[in-house]
């Protein structure tokens, strides 16, 4: 960061990284250092000057952050206001700072409107676009942004961060294995109690071959109220992959090792063709969600498909 500040910040920047990585945190540090009156030799903000205090309090007059709300996009009206903001002289710091996150959430009209600032930037104005999918940005916008060289998340960083924040070793290890490159996402899931809910859902879904269709419908109703539907999708795809591994005798590669004994009981009687059909259905689940299909009905179908990996005869035989 020190080298970036010393070389002179570009007026139009692009920071690329998935949600839950350290990219947003890194951008916070850059934003604070760029506005600070006396950044340290390492390129970090001092934390004590007027600019740092205003930023910490969320009242900095030279900073405007536009973030898309869930299910919404950054509108042309917001960008027009942002263009006016960028044209004014800084009130406190030496720069005006506009941050768009995620930048790809701009509507086409909004993206075209931001071109005005990109083509004729004010002398002390800086635009930072944070994007998970830069390919979704308009080419005319993307070509005018300079990609920032962000530090990569080092191996073990996620585990270290979680343990530093008090997450028990076993849970931290599980989260770091699954979200190693996204430590903030891992921490968010821990705080939200996802691991506890995940264990509950795992137990419930593995019991369905014996519990029957009524239990599957009840579970679908409960899952319909779960905010982390895509995590449920990943959980189910992981279970299906483990079923295939157990059937192939690859026991040492099973991801859900704590459930190996259950999978060993279930796997031999599962229908191989139905497993692959169910895998395909779960793969397309996220696409179905974006099409605004009936989520409850989708979940009912998917869980009944899971239950029907075992024919009635095989389920009856396994209970004897």
The pLDDT tens digits for 144-160 are 999 987 766 666 778 88
The Cα–Cα gap between 246 and 253 comes to: 9
End-to-end CA distance of the chain: 66
Could you tell me which of 91, 131, 100, 136 has the C-alpha nearest to residue 118?
100
What's the pLDDT score for residue 141?
Answer: 94
What's the pLDDT score for residue 153?
Answer: 65
Judged against a pLDDT cut of 90, whether residue 194 lies above it is answered with no
Residues 13 and 85 in one domain: yes
pLDDT digits (tens, 9 = 90+) for 91-138: 999 999 999 988 999 999 999 999 988 988 888 899 999 998 889 999
Residues 211 and 247 in one domain: yes
pLDDT bin (cut points 50, 70, 90) of residue 296 is confident
Instruction: Determine, yes or no, domain membership for 152.
Output: no
Residues 265 and 302 in one domain: yes
Judged against a pLDDT cut of 80, whether residue 78 lies above it is answered with yes
Residues 33 and 44 in one domain: yes
What's the pLDDT score for residue 71?
Answer: 65
CATH code of residue 299 = 1.20.272
The Cα–Cα gap between 235 and 52 comes to: 42
Residues 186 and 206 in one domain: no
Is the Cβ–Cβ distance between 308 and 274 less than 8 Å? yes
Q: Give the mean model confidence (pLDDT) for residues 20-33.
A: 81
Sheet holding 146-147, edge to edge: 63-67, 96-101, 125-131, 12-16, 146-147
Q: Give the mean model confidence (pLDDT) for residues 260-288.
A: 87
Instruction: Determine, yes or no, domain membership for 162.
Output: yes
Residues 84 and 133 in one domain: yes
Instruction: Determine, yes or no, domain membership for 164.
Output: yes
Instruction: Determine, yes or no, domain membership for 142.
Output: yes
CATH code of residue 101 = 3.40.50.300
What's the pLDDT score for residue 4?
Answer: 65
Instruction: Determine, yes or no, domain membership for 71.
Output: yes
Q: Give the mean model confidence (pLDDT) for residues 29-49.
A: 87
pLDDT bin (cut points 50, 70, 90) of residue 62 is very high
Could you tell me which of 76, 143, 132 has the C-alpha nearest to residue 104?
132
Q: Which of 53-62, 92-101, 179-188, 259-268 has the lowest mean pLDDT?
A: 179-188
The Cα–Cα gap between 223 and 298 comes to: 11
Q: What is the DSSP string of 13-70?
A: EEEE--TTSSHHHHHHHHHHHHH-SS--TTS---S-SHHHHHHHHT--TTEEEEEPPT
Residues 206 and 134 in one domain: no
Q: What is the mean pLDDT of the chain?
A: 85
Q: What is the pTM of this model?
A: 0.58
Could you tell me which of 177, 189, 156, 138 has the C-alpha nearest to residue 257?
177
Q: What's the domain count of the chain?
A: 3
Q: Give the mean model confidence (pLDDT) for residues 269-283.
A: 88
Tokens of 165: 């924040």
pLDDT bin (cut points 50, 70, 90) of residue 1 is low
Could you tell me which of 192, 165, 166, 162 has the C-alpha nearest to residue 175?
162
Q: Which residues pair with 98 in a beta bridge?
A: 64, 127
Contacts for 174 with CB less than 8 Å, ≥ 6 apart: 195
Residues 163 and 47 in one domain: no
Residues 305 and 226 in one domain: yes
Residues 141 and 34 in one domain: yes
Residues 198 and 218 in one domain: yes
Residues 68 and 134 in one domain: yes
Judged against a pLDDT cut of 50, whether residue 320 lies above it is answered with no
Instruction: Determine, yes or no, domain membership for 234.
Output: yes
Using a pLDDT cut of 90, give the percent of the chain over it. 33
pLDDT bin (cut points 50, 70, 90) of residue 161 is confident
What's the pLDDT score for residue 188?
Answer: 81
Instruction: Determine, yes or no, domain membership for 173.
Output: yes
Range of the domain at 180: 157-191
């Amino acid at each position: 960061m020190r080298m970036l500040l010393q070389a002179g910040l570009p007026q139009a920047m692009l920071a690329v990284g998935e949600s839950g990585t350290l990219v947003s945190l890194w951008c916070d540090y850059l934003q604070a250092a760029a506005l600070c009156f006396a950044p340290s030799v390492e390129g970090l903000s001092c934390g004590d000057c007027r600019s740092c205090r205003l930023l910490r309090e969320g009242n900095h007059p030279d900073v405007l952050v536009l973030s898309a709300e869930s299910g919404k996009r950054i509108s042309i009206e917001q960008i027009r206001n942002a263009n006016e903001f960028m044209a004014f002289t800084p009130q406190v710091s030496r720069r005006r700072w506009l941050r768009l996150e995620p930048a790809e959430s701009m509507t086409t009209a909004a993206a075209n409107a931001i071109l005005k600032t990109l083509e004729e930037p004010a002398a002390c104005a800086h635009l930072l676009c944070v994007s998970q999918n830069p390919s979704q940005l308009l080419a005319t916008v993307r070509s005018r942004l300079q990609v920032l060289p962000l530090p990569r998340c080092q191996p073990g960083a996620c585990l270290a961060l979680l343990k530093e924040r008090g997450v028990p070793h076993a849970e931290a290890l599980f989260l770091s294995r699954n979200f190693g490159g996204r430590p903030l996402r891992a921490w968010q899931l821990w705080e939200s109690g996802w691991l506890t809910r995940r264990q509950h859902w795992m137990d419930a879904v593995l019991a369905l071959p014996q519990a029957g269709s009524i239990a599957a419908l009840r579970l679908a109703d409960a899952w319909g109220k779960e905010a982390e539907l895509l995590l449920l999708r990943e959980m189910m795809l992981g279970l299906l992959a483990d079923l295939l591994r157990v059937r192939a005798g690859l026991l040492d590669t099973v991801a859900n090792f704590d459930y190996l004994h259950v999978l060993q009981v279930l796997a031999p009687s599962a229908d191989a063709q139905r497993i692959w059909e169910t895998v395909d259905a779960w793969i397309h689940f996220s696409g179905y969600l974006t099409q605004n299909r009936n989520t409850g009905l989708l979940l009912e179908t998917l869980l009944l498909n899971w239950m029907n990996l075992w024919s009635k005869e095989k389920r009856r035989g396994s209970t004897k």
